Amino acid sequence: MFISSQTWAVDVIFLNPSNGDSAFWQRVTRLTQGAAEDLTINLQIINKDTNPVLQVASITQIVNQKKKPDYVLFMPYKESIIKSFDALEKAKIYFVTLEKIYGSKSSAFVGLPQEKYQYWLGEMYHDNIKASAKLSQALVNQALKSKKEQQINTAIAITGGNFTGNFKRWQGLKKVSKNYQYLTVAQVIRANWNRKTAQSKYDFLRKKYQNIDIVWTASDQMALGVSDAALEQKLIIGRDVVIGGFDWIPEALNAVKEGKLTATVGGHFLQGAWALIKVFDHHQGKNVFKKSDTKDHIQMLVADQTNINRYHVLASEINLRKINFAGFSLMHSDNKQKELGYRFSVDEFIKALSQ
């Protein structure tokens, strides 16, 4: 990691939506911390921002502090989004939101960044439907390697919790399945992001449907639970059943490498670091957050047997000494790069790690 000798100049609070037991959010947090150090940002992390009540309490505390932060990063919940946005706007604190788990009703009320809420700079999110479609297509492609199209009949979706992003994720599977006349999404069932729960749900559904060709899940933890069950039943993953999930957690990437998981889609582990890069440039006067921006900023990619060697570097602990997050900012770019715009992406990140 490259540490600047400059003094801390920007104060940012990150509300971490995890209890600390999520491998995905652990990685997001660590990379966000690494970016803060490289960019000389004074980052405070408030953990366990796991529900709307806690989020409102945290933001209320933040806006009432004597010394307020310059920016707040958080993942808004639909039940508290208006209270959170109103409080930060009134306090004149810039904020950047992560992911997009609130629904259309909330979207209609809050609008787009810098419209109704001038201090809402932007959203760092990925398109869950597109990402899910990529994962779903990868699962179908693998299934077609061992079965004829008319033999691939049954898919199930195992979702996480009750939020819009979770709903959008399985819509990608629904969309892809329509391209295959014999394939039906037989059931959508929740496992609340829990590995053991997903394992038991798969056992239950296999007894019900006898043969399940495709198991799509909304997280790698749940995909690994399904894999546990399939291996216990002596199924060959990739032939008898294909299994995929979201997040690119290290264990899932290893499982793809070992043939215990078919595919995983990810890239959004960089969202916190990416947000800080843009916050840094904004603080330096760069117009990097565009009003009414609807672009999905996070590059989501599928890792499967065809490309796992490229992405497997992420299965190990990330060596932050190889990454200079400051080098991805426009402020630290040469004039040519400033004209071209940001070059920060999953591919550039992996390129830096591989050097």
pLDDT of residue 103: 63
pLDDT of residue 1: 38
The string of pLDDT tens digits covering residues 16-46 is 998 778 899 999 999 999 999 999 999 999 9
pTM > 0.85: yes
Decide which of 298 and 43 is more confident.
43
Residue 206 shares a structural domain with residue 296? no
pLDDT of residue 331: 86
Token readout for 141 is 């492609």
Alpha carbons 77 and 50: distance in angstroms, whole number: 9
User: CB atoms < 10 A from the CB of 17, how many?
Assistant: 22
| Rg for the chain, CA atoms, rounded | 21
pLDDT at residue 96 tops 90 = yes
Residue 45 shares a structural domain with residue 28? yes
pLDDT interval class at 66 (50, 70, 90)? very high
pLDDT at residue 5 tops 60 = no
Residue 119 shares a structural domain with residue 218? no
With helix as H, strand as E and coil as C, how does the chain read? CCCCCCCCCEEEEEECCCCCCCHHHHHHHHHHHHHHHHCCEEEEEECCCCCHHHHHHHHHHHHCCCCCCCEEEECCCCCCHHHHHHHHHHCCCEEEEECCCCCHHHHHHHCCCCCCCCCEEEEECCCHHHHHHHHHHHHHHHHHHHCCHHHCCEEEEEECCCCHHHHHHHHHHHHHHCCCCCCEEEEEEECCCCHHHHHHHHHHHHHHHCCCCEEEECCHHHHHHHHHHHHHCCCCECCCEEEEEECCCHHHHHHHHHCCCCEEEECHHHHHHHHHHHHHHHHCCCCCCCCCCCCCCCCCEEEECCCHHHHHHHHCCCCHHHCCHHHHCCCCCCHHHHHHCCCCCHHHHHHHHHC
Q: Long-range contacts: 29-34, Cβ < 8 Å, 24+?
A: 29/272, 30/318, 30/320, 31/269, 31/270, 31/272, 31/273, 31/318, 31/320, 32/73, 32/272, 32/273, 32/275, 32/276, 34/1, 34/273, 34/320, 34/323, 34/325
Does any domain span residue 4? no
pLDDT at residue 3 tops 80 = no
pLDDT at residue 119 tops 90 = yes
Does any domain span residue 205? yes
**Helix axes of 250-258 and 23-38: crossing angle, nearest 10 degrees:** 120
Does any domain span residue 308? no
Residue 153 shares a structural domain with residue 240? yes
For 163-170, what is the mean pLDDT? 68
Does any domain span residue 36? yes
For 327-340, what is the mean pLDDT? 74
Residue 132 shares a structural domain with residue 262? yes
Residue type, 244: G
Alpha carbons 20 and 313: distance in angstroms, whole number: 23
In the chain, the N- to C-terminal Cα span, in Å, equals: 14
Does any domain span residue 2? no
Please count the structural domains in the chain.
2
Residue ranges making up the domain that contains 327:
10-126+268-303+314-354
Does any domain span residue 248? yes
Q: Decide: 265 and 131 in contact? Cβ < 8 Å.
A: yes
Does any domain span residue 243? yes
What percent of the chain shows pLDDT beyond 90? 76
Q: Decide: 261 and 255 in contact? Cβ < 8 Å.
A: yes
pLDDT at residue 6 tops 60 = no
pLDDT of residue 334: 65
pLDDT of residue 8: 47
> Which residue in 103, 99, 107, 248 sits closest to 167, CA to CA?
103
pLDDT at residue 337 tops 90 = no
pLDDT of residue 2: 36
Segment among 50-54, 152-156, 219-223 with least mean pLDDT: 50-54
Residue 179 shares a structural domain with residue 248? yes
pLDDT interval class at 7 (50, 70, 90)? very low
pLDDT at residue 200 tops 80 = yes
Residue 256 shares a structural domain with residue 134? yes
Residue 153 shares a structural domain with residue 181? yes
For 266-281, what is the mean pLDDT? 96
Residue 72 shares a structural domain with residue 107? yes
Alpha carbons 281 and 272: distance in angstroms, whole number: 15
pLDDT interval class at 117 (50, 70, 90)? very high
Does any domain span residue 61? yes
pLDDT of residue 169: 82
pLDDT of residue 102: 65
Residue 219 shares a structural domain with residue 281? no
Residue 134 shares a structural domain with residue 254? yes
Q: Please state, in angstroms and as integers, the Cα–Cα distance from residue 275 to each residue in 74, 297, 355, following that order.
A: 10, 10, 24
CATH of the domain at 63: 3.40.50.2300
Residue 96 shares a structural domain with residue 112? yes
What percent of the chain shows pLDDT beyond 70? 92
pLDDT of residue 340: 60
Average pLDDT, rounded, for the chain = 91
pLDDT of residue 16: 94
